[in-house]
């Protein structure tokens, strides 16, 4: 590929990524953020606060924690710590996805900027699509895909804020949970990954039990236990049936 055709190729890759993002992923995220925008208004916050939360945080669990803690009158320190702890789950996503974007090409600051738009949906689809792309096209694809999702969630937040009160509260809260449901179905769609299947199955079993035993930390403990046990089971299976794994690869 010549130097003259490279910019055109990258524009084509970005355009394709935008089209992918504007399908089901955007529909799910917009619906979820409509629910969040409604919650922002019902909690007495301004639209500017909701938009700033989406623009800078871009992770619904942390944003939900911010709104709920503000509503009950928590201190700024408590809110900051809760949001930071909630969003710590994004760190492993960044660590696993960034190496797929490759090195060289655009300045290093591009990677830091794109790390900001690594969230559940962009990470899950990025992990699925990036290995299929040539290394030189990966950063352009992810930039177009994740930036599109980030932009549409800002619109969803604003729409939800202005639609607050027009939708029953149970429906509003239900919309917020569309995104994790989509994430679950996206992962469950590829049953070839044994570790992934084990983690989902163990999480489904351990989650409800641990929530009853330790409601405040049930989700966190479930994630750690399910992920660790799934990793151990996968490693044990590799040692138990090495020939089968070699044949599968």
- At 1, is the pLDDT very low, low, confident or very high (cuts 50, 70, 90)? very low
Taking each helix axis from N to C terminus, what angle separates 90-97 and 120-129, rounded to the nearest 10 degrees? 20
Over residues 10-38, mean pLDDT: 88
Domain ranges of the chain: 6-176, 191-249
- At 245, is the pLDDT very low, low, confident or very high (cuts 50, 70, 90)? very low
What percent of the chain clears pLDDT 70, i.e. is strictly above it? Answer: 83
Q: What is the DSSP string of 45-80?
A: --HHHHHHHHHHT--HHHHHHHHHHHHTT--HHHHH
- At 186, is the pLDDT very low, low, confident or very high (cuts 50, 70, 90)? low
> pLDDT (tens digit, 9 = 90+) per residue, 64-106?
888 888 888 888 888 888 888 888 888 888 998 998 987 666 7
pLDDT at 239: 80
pLDDT at 236: 85
Among the listed ranges 88-97, 166-175, 182-191, 225-234, which one has the minimum average pLDDT value? Answer: 182-191
The pTM for the full model equals 0.75
What percent of the chain clears pLDDT 90, i.e. is strictly above it? Answer: 18
3 state DSSP class of 119: coil
What are the tokens at 120? 């559940």
10 has a pLDDT exceeding 50:
yes
Residue with the bigger pLDDT between 19 and 169: it is: 19
Q: Are 159 and 37 in contact (CB under 8 A)?
A: yes
- At 172, is the pLDDT very low, low, confident or very high (cuts 50, 70, 90)? low
What are the tokens at 24? 């089901």
pLDDT at 149: 94
Over residues 209-215, mean pLDDT: 86
Tally of CB atoms within 10 A around 20: 17
What lies within 8 Å, CB to CB, of 244 at 6+ separation is: none
pLDDT at 6: 62
pLDDT at 217: 78
Tally of CB atoms within 10 A around 29: 27
179 has a pLDDT exceeding 80:
no
158 has a pLDDT exceeding 90:
yes
């Amino acid at each position: 590929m010549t130097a003259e055709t490279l910019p055109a190729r990258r524009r084509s890759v970005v355009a394709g990524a935008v089209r992918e993002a504007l399908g089901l992923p955007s529909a799910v995220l917009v619906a979820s953020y409509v629910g969040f925008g409604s919650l922002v208004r019902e909690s007495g916050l301004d639209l500017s606060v909701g938009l700033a939360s989406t623009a800078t945080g871009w992770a619904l669990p942390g944003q939900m924690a911010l709104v709920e803690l503000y509503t009950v009158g928590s201190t700024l320190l408590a809110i900051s710590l809760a949001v930071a702890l909630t969003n710590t789950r994004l760190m492993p996503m960044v660590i696993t996805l960034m190496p797929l974007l490759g090195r060289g090409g655009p300045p290093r600051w591009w990677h830091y900027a794109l790390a900001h738009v690594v969230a559940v949906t962009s990470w899950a689809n990025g992990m699925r699509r990036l290995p299929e792309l040539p290394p030189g096209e990966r950063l352009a694809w992810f930039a177009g895909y994740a930036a599109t999702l980030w932009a549409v969630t800002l619109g969803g937040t604003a729409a939800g804020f202005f639609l607050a009160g027009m939708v029953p509260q149970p429906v509003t809260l239900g919309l917020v949970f569309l995104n994790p449901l989509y994430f679950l179905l996206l992962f469950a769609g590829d049953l070839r990954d044994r570790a992934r299947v084990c983690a989902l199955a163990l999480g489904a079993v351990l989650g409800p039990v641990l929530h009853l035993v330790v409601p405040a930390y049930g989700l966190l403990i479930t994630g750690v236990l399910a992920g660790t046990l799934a990793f151990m089971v996968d490693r044990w299976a590799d040692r138990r049936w090495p020939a089968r794994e070699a044949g599968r690869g």
